[in-house]
Amino acid sequence: MTLPRTFHPDPTAEPYRADPASTHRVKFDARVDFTNGGHVEARDFLLDIEGESLAPERLAEMIVSAMNLLRAGPVTITAMRIVRRGEHRDG
């Protein structure tokens, strides 16, 4: 997978649900541009995932859902890696 890549999340995608029992997380950097101007950026952000892999298209949907971003437009993912819970610094 080559990054950065920009995605247009499906507004009808399944909502993100945090799972504190998950064994893996995705650690990423991303930028979400809003349809009415402005943007928000995330650096070293972590989200719980099911399993050991995740498509970047799904990550874009998860970002918008997890952050409850209304009027979200394109999502650009600049870094993404799967980590086992506890193998990263988040505290």
Give the model confidence (pLDDT) of 5-53 as tens digits.
Answer: 999 999 999 999 999 999 999 999 999 999 999 999 999 999 999 999 9
In the predicted structure, residue 88 carries a pLDDT above the cut 70: no
In a domain, 25, yes or no: yes
Note whether 80 and 3 are within 8 A (CB): yes
Q: How many structural domains is the chain composed of?
A: 1
In a domain, 27, yes or no: yes
pTM above 0.75, yes or no: yes
In the predicted structure, residue 87 carries a pLDDT above the cut 90: no
Contacts of 84 (CB under 8 A, 6+ apart): 23, 24, 25
Q: In the beta sheet, which residues pair with residue 45? A: 28
In a domain, 91, yes or no: no
Position 86 confidence tier, pLDDT thresholds 50, 70, 90: confident
